[in-house]
Copies of this chain bind each other. A is one copy, B any other.
Amino acid sequence: MESKKQNNNRKNIPANAKRVFKGVIFDVWQWKQKMFDGSVEIFEKLQRPDTCNVITIVGDKIMLLNQRQPDWKKEKTSLAGGRIEEGEKPLAAAKRELLEETGYVSKNWILWKEQNPSGKIIWTVYTYIARDCYFKQPPHLDAGEKIRTKLVSFNNFLMLSENVDFYEGELKSSFLRARFDKKYRDELFNLFFKK
């Protein structure tokens, strides 16, 4: 079934585009593009499932994941999160991924960022803040995941801006900004922890 999400994303691809490849993650679209001199060339864009990240607040700490996947040479630091399934709402995916990967839940969710990391890929990354998280049940990991969790302070969390093994690169500049800009840091602290 073609979901609403698919149809909405379709609008970012020219109407005359054709899907020329359907992959496991990536689809490839091509279209005939009229150039400035009137000539025509084949243009190309990718489409991939949207993804979600979860900033997991536990008490006065933030939960980070040390994650390994079967094709990675070493462990990476990451947030909870993953691919949004076809027809699934972003917030529902965030809740599902948090529970599967960590066993934690929250009743207090904020959508913090909605980013498009690449001009050539139709792909949105939704980053949520899950406040007041608490443990519900043991994690349920995919065959392609090895995950350890740890709790870090707000200041250590912001140091992810310097971590070359941090997986969610699209968030690094916000953490960098918070380290240097007190006003922005205070806003972020309140978003994470303020009752």
**Which chain B positions have C-beta within 8 A of A79?**
none
Find residues 154-176 in chain A having any chain B CB closer than 8 Å to their own CB. Answer: 161, 167, 169, 172-173, 176
Q: Is A42 an interface residue (CB 8 A)?
A: yes
Q: How far is the CB of A101 from chain B (nearest CB, A)?
A: 14
- A118-B118, A176-B177, A181-B180 as given contacts; A143 in contact with B26, CB under 8 Å: no
- A143-B39, A173-B173 as given contacts; A26 in contact with B24, CB under 8 Å: no
Judge whether B21 and A70 touch: CB under 8 Å.
no
Q: Is A106 an interface residue (CB 8 A)?
A: no
Interface membership of chain A positions 107-123, coded 1 if the CB is closer than 8 angstroms to chain B and 0 otherwise: 00000000001111000
Judge whether B176 and A34 touch: CB under 8 Å.
no
Q: In the complex, which of the residues B14, B24, B46, B120 contacts A43, with contact meaning CB atoms closer than 8 Å?
A: B24
| Count, chain A residues at interface, CB 8 A | 39
Ordered by A's residue number, 20 sampled pairs between the chains whose C-beta atoms are within 8 Å are A20-B21, A20-B23, A21-B23, A21-B28, A23-B30, A23-B44, A25-B44, A25-B120, A26-B44, A26-B120, A35-B143, A35-B144, A36-B145, A36-B146, A39-B143, A117-B169, A172-B173, A173-B176, A180-B180, A180-B181
Q: Is A2 an interface residue (CB 8 A)?
A: no
Judge whether B167 and A14 touch: CB under 8 Å.
no
Q: Which 10 A-B pairs have the closest CB atoms?
A: A180-B180, A35-B143, A173-B173, A21-B21, A37-B143, A24-B44, A25-B44, A35-B144, A24-B42, A39-B143
